[in-house]
Amino acid sequence: MIKRILFLFFFYFGVIFICIFFLPALIFPKKITFYGGKILGFWSKFCLEVFLSTKVIVKGKEKILNNENFFIACAHQSQFETFFLQWLFNSPVFILKKELLRIPIFGWYLKKIGSISIDRNKITKDNLGFSDQIKKHTSNSNNPIIIFPQSTRVDVLDRSPFKKGVKRIYEELNIFCQPVALNSGSVWPKNGKLKLNKTLTISILDPIRPGLNPDEFLNLLQKNIYEEIDKIV
């Protein structure tokens, strides 16, 4: 109980402190702001290891694409990956729900780095409403986009079908997809107590090349991520 309280106190205190410390960076080029994200990613890992005795393992770092344009499709089970992926990858930006940009300081940071917001109330099957923003980003930046194909945080054992938005992005951008599987929900679940003395594994999977049939891509992505999660849970 004490360890969980200490984790929550120091983690959120650190997040607030880092965000305030990097407030001046909002008026400078966003390259400087990205450093704040990397520190947040390191801090999330540090707090888990120190206060919850979590062993954090990253598998497949050698599979991260270096000389190709790509986007990241990551399983989503906890707050951890929203911070840690900023440390693991080269200054990524997020596709996220519009409401997150309204959070004071943290939302300003997300907007500064070029995060792409979604108004989920206005999205239809045929018109995702953010394709132009994504194309503009990929044509003007080398920073990969992160999308969570499950759309929201889910239980580590949840195997719901992926949303079709990731298929649309793959089809329209025609670039590599870097799948990421993890079991963060085993340690830091969306609903439930924080777990002690667990192993949190982040698996970087083989990239999926562009040019596949969109439905074939979606099925392959879902299969690869869920099969890997089954191995590490």
Instruction: Give me the amino acid identity at 150.
Output: Q
d(CA 216, CA 214): 5
d(CA 187, CA 97): 24
CB 109 within 8 A of CB 33: yes
Residues of the chain with pLDDT under 50: 125-127
Neighbours of 207 (CB within 10 A): 16
d(CA 219, CA 215): 6
Paired residues of 203 in beta bridges? 59, 181
Write down the pLDDT at residue 148. Answer: 94
The mean pLDDT value of the chain amounts to: 88
Nearest to 229, CA basis, from 186, 173, 188: 186
Tens-place pLDDT, residues 163-189? 998 998 999 889 999 999 999 999 999
Write down the pLDDT at residue 122. Answer: 56
CATH number belonging to the domain at 2-232, selected among 2.40.50, 3.30.1490, 3.40.1130, 3.30.40: 3.40.1130
DSSP code of 143? S
223, burial (CB in 10 Å: exposed 0-12, middle 13-18, buried 19+): exposed
Write down the pLDDT at residue 137. Answer: 66
